[in-house]
Every structure is written in C-alpha cells, then in structure tokens.
Amino acid sequence: MDIFLQQMVNGLTIGSLYALVALGYTMVYGVMRLINFAHGDLVAFSAFIGLSVYAQIFGESATSLGVIITVFALTALSVACVGVLLERLAYRPLRTAPRLSAVVSALGAGLVIQNSVMLIWGPNMKIFPSNLFPSTIWAVGGIVITFTQVMILGVSSVLMVGLYFFIHQTKIGTAIRAVAIDQDAAKLMGINVNRIIMIIFIIGSALGAVAGLFIGSYYRGITFDMGWMYGLNAFVAAIMGGIGNIPGAMLGGLLLGLFNAMITGYISTQWAETFTFVLLIAILVLRPTGILGETVAEKV
C-alpha cells in the first residue's frame, strides 16, 4: 500500500509536469491546427536557460523566495520571447500552406532549438543546482514527499486553474476561443488574429518554461536532447485528453503521469514507453477523439 501511495504522489508530480507541457501543445493545436513539434525542445531549452540565469546572476548557492521567483520569471520571459520568435519565423509564413508543411517546419524548428542548445551548453549532461528549492522532506505515514514535489503540484495546479479562468472569464480568453472556432469569423468581429496567436505562444512557452525548470530541479540531470521525450509524452497526454481541449490536456497529463508511475512501480521500466502507447492506442480505438474530445462533424 505504501508503494501504491508513493507512486501515486510521484505520478501526480510527473503528471502535472506533463500537463503543463501538454497545455502548450493543445492551445497551439486548438487555434492553429498545428502539432508544434518544437515545443518539447523549447521545454529542454528553458531548463538550460534557467540553469544559466540561476548560476550567472545569483551564483550556485543563493536560495530564497525572491531568487526562485526571479529565476522563474526571467526564464519564462526569455522562453516566451523564443516562442514568439518561433511563431513569427517558422509558422506564420506557413499559415495558408498545406497542413503538413507546417509540421515539417515545426520539426525543423525543433532541430534548430535542440542543436543550438547543444552548441551553446555542450553535448554532455548538465547537473541542475539542488539548492534552488530547499531540500526539505516530509514523511507522511511512510510516504516521502519532497519540497520540490509540493512546489510542482502547487504551482502547476494554480497555473492550470488560472489558465482555465483566463480562457473562460476574460476578454482575451473569449477572443482565443473565438479564434479557435473560426479564424475568419473572428477576424470579421474585429479580433486581431495575429495578436491572439502571439498570446497563445507566449502562454504556452511560459508554461513550458515553468515545466522545464521543474523538470530540471526534479530530475537534476538535463541533456540537450531530453525535450523530445517530454514533448512526446506531453503530446500523447494532450491526444489522450482530446487535443485542442484545455481541461483534456490537464486530465490527460495527470492520467499519463499516474499510469507511468504505476507501470514503473509495479511492472517494469524497460517497457514503460510500450505501455504508454498501448494505452494511447486503446483510448483512441475506444474514443477516436480522446477522452474529453468532442465528435465534430467534418465540414464539407
């Protein structure tokens, strides 16, 4: 039972990281119908940026709430800039092109980001500083919970709830939903579609940056090519929940995290990926548009 609860905690932690990354995929997909294959690499990039920001500005030993907030804010800001640049250079020129052209462009952008990281920070694994968060550990009835895990669970829940209300309650959120439904109609209603897409990329990249920093401080070792793995898992989470659907991405992320933790805890780590994709395919066979996806009639 202890193992079960421990894996539950671990699973929820990984799951909320997946969910944060999945939100970036699902928002871009919802508005542009584009699989943003570069998003995973952006997450890896943000872990490296965060590492540099922390080491360069504060040195390796500083630890306080102010430091944490500054590191997160600076990382999110710079990664959001990269995200906007990505959209401007690689995706905007292709908005009217065939859909798969934009996918190739996204794959190319992913290669560019991944290899830039390799050229800047080197091909070897970097160790993320352990003292960004206090190393407090709580033991509750046989389960170990670290401060980092609590931070991950807390911050990502706040961000997810915040995003949900932002999308559903504010004026910009309404505009985003309008653009997602019909870009031309939204344009006719006076919505600046380019600006909305920019906002989408800012939010998605910033959430990815937070996830990247958390991944760095949770797993400690970061490599230039780790983005592909997290990206793919998060993308699978988004698909499971029903891509384009924001609560779906959150649900998919948590579900996948829990599932992964249970598989690695009870069955094997060697076959973890296999189980992930078997689950995905099973869900798709039963519900072809994901768990929370709606069945939309194709437009003729």
Partner 1 sequence: MMNKSTLITLCLLVFMGFFPLFVDSAWLAIGTTFLVFSVVALSQDIILGRAGVFHMGHAMFFGLGAYTTAILNVNFGLPILATLLPAVLIPMFFAFLLVAPIIHLRGDYLLVATIGFNIIFIQVLENDVFGLTGGPNGLFGIDVVKLFGYELSSQTHMYYMAFLLLGITLLIIRNLDRSKFGRAMFYIHKDEIAAQSMGINIRYFKLYAFILGAGIAGAAGSMFSIQYSAVSPEAFNVTQSIMFFTIVLVGGSASLPGILIGTFIMFVLPEMFREFETARYLVFGIAMILTMILRPRGIWPVRFGNIPSFLKKEVK
**Cβ proximity to partner 1, 108 vs 221, nearer residue:** 108
Angle at 25 between CA 8 and CA 146, to 5 degrees: 30
Residue nearer to partner 1 on the CB measure, 8 or 103: 103
Q: Which amino acid is at 242?
A: G
Nearer to partner 1, 144 or 267 (CB): 267
- Minimum gap (Å) between residue 200 Cβ and partner 1: 17
Q: Kindly tell me the burial class for residue 153, based on how many C-beta atoms sit within 10 Å of its own C-beta (0-12, 13-18, 19 or more).
A: middle
Whole-number Å distance between alpha carbons of 75 and 226: 18
Give the burial string for 64-103 (b: 16+ CB within 10 Å, else e).
eeebbebbbebbbebbbebbbebbeebbeebeeeeeeebe
Minimum CB–partner distance for residue 223 and partner 1 (Å): 15
Contacts with partner 1, residue ranges (CB under 8 A): 29, 35, 89-90, 93-94, 97-105, 107-112, 114-116, 118-119, 232, 235-236, 239, 243, 270-271, 273-274, 276-278, 280-281, 284-285, 288-290, 298, 300
Cβ pair 19, 156 in contact under 8 A: yes
Give whichever of 89 and 127 is closer to partner 1, judged by the CB atom: 89
Q: How far is the CB of 232 from partner 1 (least distance, A)?
A: 7
Nearest-5° Cα angle at 81, 76 to 87: 125
Question: CB of 11: closest distance to partner 1 in angstroms?
Answer: 20
Residue 227 Cβ vs partner 1, minimum distance, rounded to whole Å: 13
Is the Cβ of residue 262 or residue 284 nearer to partner 1 in the bound state? 284
